[in-house]
Chain A
């Protein structure tokens, strides 16, 4: 049963610290998405990659957020420096038909104090 995995599941950090979240997409999927979910804003697309190349990162605050795919089995989302307003659940999703079918991971719950 192939699944998207995300680590860590929970992260508590202090303001100003660097946070790195990792995602392992389903093997064979060529598209990876990063989302942020909050009660106020709902589910927001931060960035997405196809064949490891970034296609759209317009939803991501460029000054502190960065997303990469070092290889086909790993996607990372980094926040540096983190701020309390970054507290949210961050989801990674992968697919093989672009945005038509996305399979979500369990999320990383980030709390920045």
Chain B
């Protein structure tokens, strides 16, 4: 079983639509990160959240860390083709071990 489950696994939407992807677990985490990976490249860090309930915004992207620090969501407003990629969440657990989620593959159709 995966420590981190991301949903949906695949998402294909039209340019301009809004979307939300999720990262869930039954464990509590010290911190959680979101990365975006484009084909043929390594993941690129988007944000780190450390406080339960924390909300961070990065242009059209809004990240929220759950109150209990077990889950997170990423909301994209008015998606653009440049948002296409694999979105990965990653966590540092209380045992100082680092894990990546299963990923959500997003395609934004022009």
Contacts and interface: CB of A to CB of B under 8 A. Distances in A.
Given A99-B92, A101-B48, A42 B42 contact: no
B92 A106 contact: no
Interface of B: 2, 31, 33, 40-45, 48, 88, 92, 96-103
Query: What's the interface size class on A, roughly?
Result: 20 to 34
Interface of A: 4, 33, 35, 42-45, 48, 56, 91, 93, 98-107
7 closest A-B pairs by beta carbon, nearest first, are A104-B42, A43-B100, A99-B98, A99-B92, A91-B42, A104-B43, A42-B102
A49 B98 CA distance: 13
A42 B100 contact: yes
B98 A45 contact: yes
Contact of A106 (B40, B100, B103): B40
Contact of A42 (B97, B98, B103): B103
Contacts of A107: 40-42
